[in-house]
Amino acid sequence: MAPLSRLNHRMIALIQRVREASVRVDGERVGAIEAGLLAMIGVARGDDTASAERLLQRVLDYRVFPDQAGRMNLSLRDVHGGLLLVPQFTLAADTAHGNRAGFSTAATPAQAAELFEHLLRRARSLHAPVASGRFGAHMQVALINDGPVTFWLEARGQRTTTD
């Protein structure tokens, strides 16, 4: 069996600075925020609660909002913006080869659900307001990207290999 690469240890957040964002499931609005961050969350095989904690800190503290001089020097915490967390397993896909994504690098649905729920609980304990999509559901996400400003954040786990 090939060793697990470091790419298999990366919890991902694709963050977008938004004026507003919402998520619907079966026509029902299940989460919405006003100005803040929309964070699409991908969970990779090998991620753990430490990865989730590190990723959450990065999302909350990443400086993407303008200060008085117009420079991106303020974090979500600084501006007291909303946070919309949306699980998106496709972010953990292997897209390195071919014309179709492979999902062997993504966490199992049970592992990903557990880590997403952990991330959501911790986010709600550290910040407000926090809204979310629904894990495993087919969702429609609407947003007004502010800027546009979009960043890819990762929280890498331990750099270990196994045989």
Instruction: Write phi, then psi, for 120 (nearest 5 degrees).
Output: -65, -45
Using alpha carbons only, how large is the chain's radius of gyration in Å? 16
Annotated catalytic residue, options 65, 88, 116, 135: 88
Over residues 26-63, the pLDDT tens digits come to 999 999 999 999 999 999 999 999 999 999 999 999 99
89 given a catalytic annotation = yes
Q: Which of 57, 65, 68, 90 is catalytic?
A: 90
Distance (Å, rounded) from C-alpha 147 to C-alpha 114?
Answer: 33
Reported confidence tier of residue 9, pLDDT bands at 50, 70, 90:
low
Contacts of 123 (CB under 8 A, 6+ apart): 56, 59, 60, 83, 85, 130
pLDDT band at 156 (very low <50, low <70, confident <90, very high): confident
Contact 50, 92 (CB under 8 A): no
Residue 4 above 50 pLDDT? no
Q: Would you call the peptide bond into 66 cis, given omega within 30 degrees of 0 as the criterion?
A: no
Average of per-residue pLDDT across 67-74: 98
DSSP assigned state of 108:
P
pLDDT in tens, 101-135: 999 999 999 999 999 999 999 999 999 999 999 99
Look at residue 138 in the predicted model and tell me its pLDDT.
Answer: 97
CATH no. of 11-156 = 3.50.80.10
- Cβ density class 46-59: b for 16+ within 10 Å, e for less: bbbeebbebbbebb
- Between 4 and 71, name the one with better pLDDT: 71
81-94 mean pLDDT: 95
Indicate which residue of 65, 89, 116, 135 is catalytic.
Answer: 89
Q: Which amino acid, residue 157?
A: G
